[in-house]
């Protein structure tokens, strides 16, 4: 689609279009689901159903990669700034609650 940015998670360039994808075979239960989605008018044809599914898969993989990246950033921050023990976290939470109650009560 024009204007749509192609994202690759592997960092490798995408392979060229492969015409073998034109004859994609679905398992019977997915073929039935796709046919029902088209019959219900939610999609123009099975190709559009497959495209929608692949878009969802792509989005899920991007979100998973972003989550892993956020975990890596958090780990690096913890190694740089130090980690808190559960006891320290509990003490900070209790102090924050006490301060909030004092300000509002």
Query: What is the per-residue pLDDT across 37-90, written as a single tens digit (0 to 9) for each?
Result: 999 999 999 989 999 999 999 999 999 999 999 999 999 998 999 888 899 999
- Identify whether 13 is part of a domain: no
Residue 10, pLDDT > 60, answer no
Q: Which domain holds residue 80?
A: 22-104
Q: What is the pLDDT of residue 6?
A: 45
Tell me the two tokens of residue 85. 């023990």
- Identify whether 72 is part of a domain: yes
Give CA–CA dist 68/72, Å, rounded: 6
- Identify whether 60 is part of a domain: yes
Give CA–CA dist 55/76, Å, rounded: 31
- Cα 16 to chain centroid distance, Å, stands at 25
Q: What is the pLDDT of residue 13?
A: 61
**Rounded mean pLDDT of 28-42?**
95
- Identify whether 41 is part of a domain: yes
Give CA–CA dist 56/75, Å, rounded: 28
Q: How large is the greatest C-alpha to C-alpha distance in the chain, in angstroms? A: 70
Q: In terms of pTM, does the model score above 0.75? A: no
Q: Tell me the angle at which helices 28-39 and 46-81 cross, rounded to the nearest 10 degrees.
A: 110
- Identify whether 81 is part of a domain: yes
Residue 31, pLDDT > 60, answer yes
């Amino acid at each position: 689609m024009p204007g749509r940015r192609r994202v690759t998670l592997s960092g490798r360039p995408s392979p060229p279009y492969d015409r073998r994808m034109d004859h994609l075979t679905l398992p019977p239960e997915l073929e039935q689901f796709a046919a029902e989605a088209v019959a219900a008018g939610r999609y123009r044809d099975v190709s559009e159903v497959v495209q929608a599914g692949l878009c969802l898969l792509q989005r899920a993989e991007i979100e998973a990669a972003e989550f892993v990246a956020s975990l890596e950033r958090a780990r690096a921050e913890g190694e740089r700034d130090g980690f808190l023990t559960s006891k320290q976290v509990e003490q900070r939470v209790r102090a924050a609650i006490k301060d909030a109650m004092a300000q509002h009560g």
